[in-house]
Structures are given as C-alpha cells and as structure tokens.
Amino acid sequence: MVLVAPRPLLQPAHLEVAAAERSSGREVLALLRGDTAARPRFDPELAGGLRAWLEDAAFDVVATRGEHAPPVFLGPSQLLGSPAGWRDDEGLSDELVLSRLVHVLFRQLVTEGRFDHPLRDALDGLRASGAEELVRQIESLPPAARASLSETVASHAANVREMVPRFAPGWMPRTNDRVAIPLAGGRVVLHGSFDLLVGLPQPGTASLCALGLSTSGPWARERRSLHYLALLETLRSGTPPFRLALLESATGRYGVEDVREEHLRAIASHLSAWLATGPHG
Amino acid sequence: MAERLTDTLVAPLAGVDPSSWGAALQEAKGILAGLAVRRAGAGPFRVTGHEIRAALSSDATDLAGQRPFAWSARTARRALGLAAVRQLVAGDARSPVEAVRARLEESCRWAHDGSPCASQLDRWVAGLPPAGRVAVGAEAVTWATRLWCALDWSALGSAPVIGRDRWWDSPHSALLALRGRAEVRTDRADLVVLSGPRRETVRAELALVTLVEALRSRGSGVPGRVVGWWPDSGRLVRVEPEPAVLTLGAEAVGLVLAGSGAPVRSAA
C-alpha cells in the first residue's frame, strides 16, 4: 500500500460538512493522481500470459464438469469468500442491506456531488434501480429497527462523504462498471463490478484508477477483491488500472496503492488453484 | 480497446459478388414473403434481435420468463446513454456526466411543459424523486462512458449516426416488421452493443441487422459489416456482409415466427 490512513473517524463526521472541507477526499484524489511520470508500466504480453494461465485452469473445470454442463459464473464472493456478515441463505443479512444502501449513496455522491437525507435518498435510489422488494422490506421494519438502520447509514454516509473526492467530469467517473471475462469458450465466466473507475483508457498504457467501497471488511479480503478486479480489467482491455483505492465506510479508513504485476500474478495463481480444487462441480 | 474496436469498424470491406448478393437477397425476400402470408390473420409481429435470441437459444425459457417491462435505471440506461453520446459526438457536451445531466433536465422540462416531445421515459424520469433521478443518471453515465471511451471517434469519418434503429415493414403483410438495432452507424459498419453472456445465437441476432439494411436498400448496394461488442468483456464478433448472412437472418426470422427452437443453419 502507498498509504493506509487509519483515521480517527469512529465518531462520524457531521453531515453538514461542506464539500470543500473534504480533506480526506482531497488526499485520496492527490494520491490517485500521483506522479504521472512514475506510473507503473506493464509488459504488453502480460494480459496474454495471464489469460493463458486461467484458460488452462478453466479447461480443467470443463473437463471435470463435462462439455455440456451449464456455464459457471464466478464472482468475488465465490472466489474470495463473502464479506463479513454477508449471507443470503435466510434472506438478506443486515450487512448486505447496509452495503446496498451505502453503495447507492456512493454512486449519488460521485455522480451528483451530494446527498441530503441518507436513508431516504438511498431508498429512492434503490427504488429507481428496480429494487422495490428490498425497499418494501426496509420500509416495513419496526420503527426502532428502522431508526437504527437510518443512524447506521448516516454514519457510513458521513465517512463516505469525507473520503470520496469530487472528480472533474473530465476524469470520466463511472460507477458499477461490470466486467465479465469468459474462459473456456464461455463455460467459465469470471465477473465482478468496479464500484468506481476513473480515467480515459489509452491503448497500451495503464491509465485508469479504480476505487472500491467496503462497508464491512475485512480489509484484506476487500483488497484482494480489488486485485481480482484489476486482473479482470487486464483481461478485458490489456492493461490493469495503475492505481487502486479502498475506502472503508464503517471507519473512514482508506488506502491507495499502485497495481503491480505481482498482485496480478498472485490473484491469478489463487484463481487457478481455486478452479483446480474449488467446489464448482 | 478503442484502437481495436475502431480498427474493426473502419477496416475496408471485402468485395461481394453482386449477382450472388442479389440472388441471396431475392431468396431472403421470398422466405419473408412466405412467412408473412402464413402469419396473415394473426396479431402484428415485430422481430428484433431479442426475439431471435429468445427463439433460438437454450435459455429461451429464462428469457420468456422475464417480468413485464418496467422502467428502471437499467432499462432506461441505453436510451439516456445514447442521447448523451449523441451530444458528445455533436460537441454539445464535454463529458458523459454533463451530457446525461442535460438529457435528464430535458426530460423534466418536456414532461412539466406538456411538450409533445415528451416520451413515456421522459415522464417516468420527471416523476422520480431527485435521488432516484441521480441513480438513473449514474447508470446512464456508466453506459455512455463505456461507449464514448471505446471508440476513436475522429477515425470514424463523417458524422456517425448514434442509436437510430431501423425498421423494415413487410410489403406482403402489415403484420410483419423487422428491426435492426445498432448503437453507432458509419459508412462501413454498424456497431451493436451487446449484453449478457456469449451465445451461439449472436451471429443470427447480428445477421438481422444486415438483413434489415439490405431489405431497405433501394439499389443493389451492399451494407457494411456488423460488429457486436460486449463492453463487459471487450470481446467483438464481426458479421461481414456476405450472401450467406442474408439467408441466416431470414431463416432466423422464420424460426421466430414458427415458434421453433430448432438450431439455425450456420451460414455465417
């Protein structure tokens, strides 16, 4: 990591903090921008090599499952384990609901630069996104539970507002950018979503930054998830993002790091091993 | 990615033998005329790439089981994103964020003024609370940014057409119409933005675009190639304008109308 800032923000910042006072956001932005001359360079053959490695592992999966088995879709939860507290076997967990709400606010902040009432805005955003069922569940919570959720969302929202920089439109910020990489002729699909990508793609040059938002951690798992997405971007466009930022909304902690080839090789090695032994049959 | 996709769109087209093309077009027209006659008396039928995918793919049951259409950030993103890219190409906006914001404001203005320009989408957007509108905008910004950044627009030549679907109405039956959907149209190629997994039906879906162009052509001109692009994976599929593509498209339409899931003859 270039920097991890364990900020003393367990007490959430006040909601009325003005955008101009977002000191953490300014720091994150400066770290993302960095020294343009010092941006890492990547071997143009890297993407091809990583793909060949994963294709070999994926064809082993196909050999095990059979040629005509339906495609396997593998995301970070299957490959790296679920974030803390996530489960959906007995309905959505509180942590998963919180994550959905905070991510809606994150998108709103990036796109519009502000939100007014965190829970209400998040519910409006979810409803417009077609998640009416989830909105109904939240709205039908008992008053005490709903008040508690509202308070928790406000706490995360305050930290998000503190940490998320204001990106100039020319940085081309885009949220929820989905990546899906078919392997073995589409019979194994690795997928994931960048919470935020910024930068203009440039042929042969690593020119993007990626930001991930974690609501529940653990930090190490979320960091690996970003490495996984960087790998998928390498397979999609030929080059990874050159820098990654991880923002933790529960605490206000954030970290920024350069992407290195060893990160990509390590996560590809993990995927390859997982495909060889994982419960995908 | 921009380099590779743009190169594919602007690459010179291989020559097509006019007599072979003309014969294939006549054959396709014959197939469609027969279909139209057989459908006479039934309800109107509009064939799009989606119908071809639903009819021919093994996941037809899943597609058929989809919920009825409703506006959401996801279903609105293409229309709003295309409007944004149109503004960017015209130089009326400097970034996707700015272009989408302008389009959303236009929706609200039209809906509130009762403008005849207001579509169902505009009225839905105008009725959303501010945070809902931002969520819709965020989804459209991502869609538009991916397309905008995927191409070297200056290399595409004279003003590309953004997001104009083209229809062919059967002269034999007012009940049958075919739709060719493409997000970017140039002199040499049509770009179709694809979603969902890679699938065997994609060539037939794209052949429909070629077929509609050929059917609409008044002369003996051969349309450009059709390039399908998955933004999620960066993958491309090219369908060159060959006589066999017309046959593939017409047969696919036939299978849609027959309600058959039989595999399409692999002609392209």
Interchain CB contact of A186 with B (< 8 Å): yes
Interchain CB contact of A120 with B (< 8 Å): yes
Find the radius of gyration of the CA atoms of chain A: 19
Compute the distance between CA of residue B11 and CA of residue A197 in angstroms, rounded to an integer. 30
pLDDT per residue over A144-170, tens digit each? 999 999 999 999 999 999 999 999 999
H helix count then E strand count, chain B: 10, 8
Does B233 contact A236 at a Cβ distance shorter than 8 Å?
A: yes
pLDDT per residue over A20-51, tens digit each? 345 778 888 888 887 777 777 788 889 999 99
Strand B225-229 versus strand B236-239 pairing type: antiparallel
pLDDT per residue over B98-156, tens digit each? 999 999 999 999 999 999 999 999 999 999 999 999 999 999 999 999 999 999 999 99
Compute the distance between CA of residue A233 and CA of residue B208 in angstroms, rounded to an integer. 31
* pLDDT over 50 at A10, yes or no: no
Does A174 contact B130 at a Cβ distance shorter than 8 Å?
A: no
**Secondary structure class of A227 (helix, strand, coil):** helix
The pLDDT, as a whole number, for residue A32 is: 85
pTM of the full predicted structure?
0.91
The pLDDT, as a whole number, for residue A18 is: 33
Q: List residues bridging with A202 in a β-sheet.
A: A205
Mean pLDDT of chain B: 89
Mean pLDDT of A174-181: 97
Interchain CB contact of B235 with A (< 8 Å): yes
Interchain CB contact of B195 with A (< 8 Å): no
Q: Is B194 left (phi over 0), alpha (psi -120 to 50) or beta?
A: beta
Does A71 contact B95 at a Cβ distance shorter than 8 Å?
A: no
CB–CB of A104/A129 below 8 Å? Answer: yes
* Residue A169 with chain B: CB contacts under 8 Å: 94-98
Give the pair of three-digit tokens for residue A184: 């073995």
Compute the distance between CA of residue A254 and CA of residue A225 in angstroms, rounded to an integer. 15
Does B139 contact A176 at a Cβ distance shorter than 8 Å?
A: yes
Element (H, E) at A97: helix A94-112
Interchain CB contact of B70 with A (< 8 Å): yes
Cβ-proximal residues to B193 (8 Å cutoff; 6+ apart), any chain = B78, B147, B183, B229, B231
Cβ-proximal residues to B142 (8 Å cutoff; 6+ apart), any chain = A174, A175, A176, A177, B77
Which of B139, B149, B197 is opposite residue A189, by nearest beta carbon? B197
CB–CB of A244/A226 below 8 Å? Answer: yes
Q: How many CB pairs under 8 A join A and B?
A: 114
Residue type for position B50: H
Least confident of A113-117, B137-141, B229-233: A113-117
Interchain CB contact of A173 with B (< 8 Å): yes
Compute the distance between CA of residue A43 and CA of residue A55 in angstroms, rounded to an integer. 19
Mean pLDDT of A271-281: 79
Compute the distance between CA of residue A54 and CA of residue A60 in angstroms, rounded to an integer. 10
Give the pair of three-digit tokens for residue A220: 């190490």
Instruction: Please tell me what DSSP assigns to residue A67.
Output: T
* pLDDT over 50 at B260, yes or no: no
Interchain CB contact of B121 with A (< 8 Å): no
Compute the distance between CA of residue A23 and CA of residue A21 in angstroms, rounded to an integer. 6
Q: What is the ipTM of this complex?
A: 0.90
Q: Report the candidate in B66, B98, B69 with the shortest Cα–Cα distance to residue B84.
A: B98
